[in-house]
């Protein structure tokens, strides 16, 4: 995206959408991007879903009708949805709605944090590999290839079963396994961008390599990165759910969507709602992130 400031000398016959040229009242740049997102239907729907979940997670302590780990013994006999428990309760008589709301919090913190970690580490590796080339580049790309060739789910099982599972360990393994993919993308773009005039100009000015990589090259590689980060966040939500389902996710008893399915899917024949509710929650959140990514890519191609 080019910013309006650089667009000022506009040829008379070029029609620029007004949303790009006239700054909105308040002058906050974010609104302009938001207005752009609403031009794509998938992006709007995706963003709405993600924001709705973020809001619910944020307000969980206020709006959740029960404490997430509190058992209602009266609900044990009839755990199906009722007036007291809108979505029903689980096998221990805990309110499903409250657990779903509270369960949104760890997911929405861990998934983006892991993506940011992977983006930071991956960008650094990709920039270094692309900018210096030669053997540093070769070592980094080969190391990335090795990590990428490993079936990730088996890697997660080995690492998490060995070191125990906690939020930080999950962020750690997600960062380590996703960084090589980002590194590959950034390296490809760096190889192209480092030959540009403005990089040569910065070299001429005597800027350090670090400055050139971070200030001159990285900002120009952000477009594909943002779309990719959206997709990664969705995948991370899936993986956090899968880890919970396999029993190597966030430790109980605090609500974790994947773990809730693991605890109750054995009772599918009797109480299907116990597993269906968390499955619906996790699916809708991932659909939100992926629709947002599809929409953003569409918008990117249009420019």
Point out which residues bind other proteins (CB under 8 A).
Answer: 42, 142, 145-146, 149-154, 157-159, 161-162, 234, 238, 241-242, 245-248, 258, 261, 265, 268-269, 272, 275-276, 279-280, 282-283, 286-287, 289-291, 294
Q: What is the DSSP letter of 129?
A: H
What count of residues does the chain have?
303
Reading the block at residue 78, the tokens are 């009839």
Nearer of residues 148 and 201 to other proteins, judged by Cβ = 148
Reading the block at residue 166, the tokens are 């906690």
Answer whether 72's CB lies under 8 Å from 66's CB.
yes
Least CB distance from residue 185 to other proteins, whole Å? 15
Least CB distance from residue 248 to other proteins, whole Å? 8
Least CB distance from residue 171 to other proteins, whole Å? 19
- The residues facing 95 across adjacent strands are 89
Can you tell me whether residue 105 is helix, strand or coil? helix
Nearer of residues 68 and 241 to other proteins, judged by Cβ = 241
- The residues facing 94 across adjacent strands are 71
Nearer of residues 20 and 267 to other proteins, judged by Cβ = 267
Nearer of residues 66 and 289 to other proteins, judged by Cβ = 289
Comparing CA positions, the residue from 230, 264, 258 lying closest to residue 245 is 258
Least CB distance from residue 250 to other proteins, whole Å? 15
Answer whether 159's CB lies under 8 Å from 205's CB.
no
Can you tell me whether residue 89 is helix, strand or coil? strand
Nearer of residues 153 and 210 to other proteins, judged by Cβ = 153
Least CB distance from residue 179 to other proteins, whole Å? 16
């Amino acid at each position: 995206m080019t910013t309006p400031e650089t667009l000022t000398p506009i040829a008379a016959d070029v029609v620029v959408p007004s949303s790009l040229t006239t700054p909105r009242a308040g002058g906050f740049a974010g609104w302009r991007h938001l207005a752009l997102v609403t031009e794509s239907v998938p992006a709007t729907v995706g963003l709405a879903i993600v924001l709705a979940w973020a809001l619910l997670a944020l307000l969980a302590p206020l709006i959740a009708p029960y404490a997430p780990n509190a058992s209602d013994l009266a609900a044990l006999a009839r755990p199906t949805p009722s007036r007291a428990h809108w979505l029903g309760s689980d096998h221990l008589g805990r309110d499903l709605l409250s657990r779903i709301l509270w369960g949104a919090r760890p997911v929405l913190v861990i998934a983006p944090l892991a993506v940011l970690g992977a983006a930071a580490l991956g960008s650094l590796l990709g920039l270094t590999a692309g900018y210096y080339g030669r053997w540093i580049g070769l070592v980094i790309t080969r190391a990335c290839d090795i990590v990428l060739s490993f079936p990730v789910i088996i890697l997660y099982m080995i690492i998490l079963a060995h070191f125990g599972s906690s939020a930080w360990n999950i962020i750690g393994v997600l960062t380590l396994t996703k960084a090589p993919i980002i590194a590959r993308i950034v390296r490809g773009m760096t190889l192209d961008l480092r030959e540009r005039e403005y990089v040569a100009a910065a070299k001429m000015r005597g800027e350090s390599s670090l400055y050139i990589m971070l200030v001159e090259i990285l900002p120009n590689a952000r477009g594909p990165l943002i779309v990719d980060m959206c997709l990664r966040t969705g995948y991370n939500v899936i993986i956090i759910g899968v880890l919970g389902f396999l029993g190597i996710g966030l430790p109980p008893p605090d609500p974790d969507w994947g773990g809730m399915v693991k605890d109750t899917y054995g009772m599918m024949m009797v109480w299907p709602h116990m597993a269906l509710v968390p499955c619906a929650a996790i699916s809708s959140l991932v659909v939100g992130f992926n629709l947002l990514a599809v929409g953003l890519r569409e918008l990117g191609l249009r420019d």
